[in-house]
Structure 1
Amino acid sequence: MSIMAPASDKNLTGLVAATFTPFTSEGEINLSEIGPYIDYLTEKQGVNSVFVNGTTGESMSLSVAERKILAEAWCQKAKGKLDQVIVHVGCMSLKDSQELARHAEQIGADGIAAIAPSFFKPSTADTLRTFLYEVTSVAPTVPFYYYHLPDFTGVKVLGRDVLEGIEKLIPSFRGLKFTGNDLMDFGQCVSHSQPHWSVLYGVDEQLLAALVMGAQGAVGSTYNYMGCHVNKLISAFEKGDLNQARAIQFKMQELISYAKKLGFDLGVNKQLMNELSGLSLGPPRLPVMPCPYTHALSIAQKYHSIFPEC
């Protein structure tokens, strides 16, 4: 077991955009949009870190080769513009995850993350930790974040149980992205975290609750186009202005609730990003279906009626 320390010890805090994968109309990766995408995040949304090749990025619908190409492009184009690029390397196959972890280390990613495998599921925290250790063992100098997403993976192991003794097994461990509604489990993760860990929340419509519990930041898809408003929520919370923080959170909930009535899946979310950002990120990849244009337009209109210009 390696005891090498990770290359970077800067904490991952604040808003982290879970990025969409740009495709052409033919469904091929479109790297030309990544530069403008980064400029949009930093200049329009005040978001300075990204989580690449995750759920929003349709990673499980991409080949290993495609994920490498995307990760490298994000890392290259982020230099001097973004604070951190976290590359998700989780796969169903341990060997594929290791290949992506090695590659992330080679291209200078600021961190890697991995989700639990969801076909052959780890049934215990110990099994899941062992899997995560094997992933990180090939890239021991890169900060590692566990991506906790039980509703998608079907792995019902508590996040707190996964953290038990994890840094002894994985010295590069630096926190987790907790995407779940179990705030008791989330609170236990925060309570038992170390000062150099980052506990990040991933349910955008409940961010304020997570901040109260001690979240140091958040990773989410809506921060791609609502980041400037959510930054105001965080700022209000830090100043103790809970009325203002709640007002912004309630607006987010109003928008997301409206979108859910129209079927707020990844296809709708991606098309909404196209409408609000002016970027051309293309359609999703099957089995996710493209969004009916009228749905995205209706949600975009609702967004503009709720939120003022940043």
Structure 2
Amino acid sequence: MKKLYGVTTAMVTPFNEDGSVNLEQVAKLTEFLISKGVHCLYPLGTTGEMLKLSVSERKAIAETVVNTARGRVTVYIHVGDIQVEHVLELAQHALHIGADGIGVVTPIYFGANERELENYYKLISNSLPDNFPIYLYSIPQCAANELSVEVVEKLAKECKNIVGIKYSYPDFTLTSKYLNVIEGNFDVVFGPDHLFLPALALGCSGTVSGISGVYPEPFVALYQAFQEGNIGKARELQKLATKYCDVLRNGSNMSYFKEALKMRGIDAGYMKGPQLDITNEEIEKLRKNLVEIDQELSVIG
């Protein structure tokens, strides 16, 4: 059973101008990220604009990433959706195409109480083999529902295939409580990219990072430095990674990610409505800002 660790990259979804998915560029992005040393791939999450995609499009993207990766890195497919039936269908698909596991965001938009959240995840867990790992995914600022420690603890104890949580909110108090759920047997991967190093120091297994989908290098180097005990170097790399986070708007607008990837030679395509691509003026400002930070990145190699 493979778990998420280190630098898990949340991938963007390249769209053509007409809103269709560009699977050729999905494959090229997958190769680019693997070549940069990321440890795991996480397509079809928030960064991947998952709710703008049909079930068939999501299946095609998942197959493309898994088939392109060919076991060289761990691949988890995010299968969360507003319809439970879609979640179950996408989870089965991820299992059958050979993904290493899945992530599932909490129910979205409509409020869900603790009994409903517990029932939701147990339904998904029971639909899959015990040895096919599931990560809970909590991003309350977008989904409007948060997972309490009590619910997470119940799920971790009662569902053998629920092995961790992806937590994408900068609350270290709650993060530390998640880390104490079945200590040593329940993983926490942290979402806010600008807090990667302190999350590692707290005990998280790694990050699920959208910024690393554009600039993997400082994140991969930071994780390596931390593993080697070189905290001074890790701090410097976190500063560099945070500069990229700031310039790329911390993932609040995926068009910044896509334009920056184009500057790096990867055609990540367009935004899909209602979101729009950033303007030419914004692109030029982004280019200028990135050139300045790239000079620091060049020192890393």
Please list the CA deviations of residues 106-159 of structure 1 after superposition, one character each: whole Å capped at 9, or x if unmatched.
Answer: 1111101111112222122x321210111232222421000111111111343x
Q: Distance in 1 between matches of 2:285 and 2:181?
A: 43
- Pair 1:220 & 2:212 matched: no
Mark the runs of 5 or more structure 1 residues left unpaired by the alignment. 1-8
- 3-state SS in 1 of match to 2:277: coil
- 3-state SS in 1 of match to 2:214: helix
- Pair 1:207 & 2:210 matched: no
- Pair 1:129 & 2:121 matched: no
How far 1:104 sits from its partner (Å)?
1.0
Aligned counterpart, 2:18: 26
Q: Distance in 1 between matches of 2:252 and 2:44?
A: 20
Q: Distance in 2 between matches of 1:18 and 1:257?
A: 17
Aligned counterpart, 1:4: none
Structure 1 residues 127, 281: CA separation in 2 closer, same or farther (over 3 Å shift)?
A: same
Query: TM-score normalized by structure 2?
Result: 0.91
Mark the runs of 5 or more structure 2 residues left unpaired by the alignment. none
> Is the CA contact (8 Å cut-off) linking 1:16 and 1:47 kept in structure 2?
yes
- 3-state SS in 2 of match to 1:92: coil
- 3-state SS in 2 of match to 1:164: helix
Give the counterpart letter for 2:127 in structure 1. Answer: V
Structure 1 residues 22, 258: CA separation in 2 closer, same or farther (over 3 Å shift)?
A: closer
- Pair 1:256 & 2:249 matched: no
How far 1:221 sits from its partner (Å)?
0.8
Give the count of matched residue pairs: 296
Aligned counterpart, 2:261: 273
- Pair 1:72 & 2:70 matched: no
- Pair 1:48 & 2:48 matched: no
Give the counterpart letter for 2:211 in structure 1. Answer: T
How far 1:193 sits from its partner (Å)?
4.2
Please list the CA deviations of residues 243-298 of structure 1 after superposition, one character each: whole Å capped at 9, or x if unmatched.
Answer: 2222221222233334449x95122222222222x111211111221122332343
Aligned-CA RMSD value:
2.0
Q: Distance in 2 between matches of 1:71 and 1:194?
A: 32
Please list the CA deviations of residues 39-98 of structure 1 after superposition, one character each: whole Å capped at 9, or x if unmatched.
Answer: 21122x211321011001100111111111111121112114x32110111111111111
> Is the CA contact (8 Å cut-off) linking 1:114 and 1:145 kept in structure 2?
yes
- Pair 1:83 & 2:73 matched: yes
- 3-state SS in 2 of match to 1:87: strand
- 3-state SS in 2 of match to 1:121: coil
Decide which of 14, 36, 49 is 1:58's aligned counterpart.
49
Aligned counterpart, 2:91: 101
- Pair 1:152 & 2:142 matched: yes
The percentage of counterpart residues that share the same residue type is 27
Q: Distance in 2 between matches of 1:296 and 1:201?
A: 29
Give the counterpart letter for 2:259 in structure 1. Answer: Q
- Pair 1:116 & 2:103 matched: no
How far 1:194 sits from its partner (Å)?
4.1
After the TM superposition, which residues 152-171 of structure 1 pair with which residues of structure 2 at under 5 Å, given as runs?
152-158=142-148, 160-171=149-160
Q: Distance in 1 between matches of 2:49 and 2:279?
A: 19
Aligned counterpart, 1:298: 285
